[in-house]
Amino acid sequence: MPLVAHSDLPTFEHLREQGHELLSLDRAVHQDIRELHIGFLNMMPDAALTATERQFIRLVGSCNRIAQFFVYPFSLPELERDADTRAYIDRHYSRFEDLKEHGLDALIITGANVANPALELEAFWKPLIEVVNWAESNVTSMLCSCLATHALLKHFHGINRRPLPDKRWGVYSHRAVVPHHPLLREINTRFDVPHSRYNDISHDQLAEHGLKVLVESEDGGVHMAVSPDQFRVVYFQGHPEYDYNSLLKEYRREVNRFLDGELEAPPPFPENYFPEPAKRVAARYVDQAIEHKARGARPPATLEHQIGPMLDNTWGDTAKAIVNNWLGLVYQLTDLDRRGQFMHEVDPDDPLGINKAGQP
């Protein structure tokens, strides 16, 4: 079912140009179809703000449930922004106070950049927890990505993330540990997920606090877990929303950091991502970049153009299927009359009936 282009958010027009079906607000209000209202807390830094916005909204729009999806991006004023990004947010994003007043069915929370050794020291910590505390009682489910996963696991369960020896960066093969779980219904039992992070929360840490690991990798660690009630909070450590070239863009930024003197050596290749021809192109590019740097110049911006056609997206279909399952459960469990509250016959501590029955 289509997204509803209920505002002038540029992402809506971008998705329409890519062939996605969108309804105008006028058409939507004249159709007798159930609505789902989804908040999207975008905490990503300026350079990734709109790309992340498009990626998650596209996943929602790929859902095949019979519903109209209203997605409301919002951010936190405490996050540092440049003037252009702040103007974009002021024009196109919702205010949390307004969303609280009107209500939401579900909430997606992205990652963020951090500058402090403890998450509680970040400027966004208190406003993020304000949003989360409200959502805990007022939306059916929260879906968290990367840093948001680490923040909510710290807030709800006191779990501290641990630094990795090296950045976990690349595309890793994963297995569905609990393939019968409703969130994993009808997906491949083995599939890829991109990761890009310096910190980790392990299977043992999650299990110790009663959380259920659903998807993990021998090399990439845990990707997906759920709160003890199996659904109210869904945690991603990986980035299933990534475009085929998202890691390539990160690699190019790391090369630029090396050229600017922020890194002592050129970055490694993202693991399991560049095919051999792409590695050769990237290596030549770095050599040329070093030569240009010695002459006080920048290399031509050809890296993405050369390598992009060599890359594959091996995770997108599974990401769509999982988000489809998530929204399908939100659809089933959200009360038609009291948005964001569970139906009277649903146990809020076990909404899917898994903990009691052992099977969904």
Q: Annotated catalytic sites, by residue? A: 146, 239, 241
Angstrom distance (rounded) from CA 147 to CA 113: 8
* CA nearest neighbour of 221 among 245, 205, 242: 205
- SS3 (DSSP) at 71: strand
> What is the residue type of 354?
I
Is 270 in contact with 247 (CB distance < 8 Å)?
yes
Nearest 5°: CA angle at 238, between 312 and 255? Answer: 65
Q: How far apart are CA 234 and CA 106, in angstroms?
A: 11
The count of other CB atoms within 10 Å of the CB of residue 359 is 10
Across the strands, what pairs with 73? 40
- Long-range own/partner contacts, residues 207-214 (CB < 8 A, 24 or more apart): 209/157, 209/158, 209/159, 210/157, 211/153, 211/157, 211/235, 212/178, 212/181, 213/177, 213/178, 214/176, 214/177, 214/178, 214/181, 214/183, 214/184
d(Cα 94, Cα 39) in Å, to the nearest integer?
A: 9
The answer to whether the beta carbons of residues 42 and 73 sit under 8 Å apart is yes
Residue from 258, 265, 263, 322 nearest 293 by CA: 258
From 192, 194, 148, select the one nearest 167 (Cα to Cα). 194
Whole-number Å distance between alpha carbons of 218 and 307: 28
Residues 6+ apart with CB under 8 A from 137: none
Amino acid type, 350: D
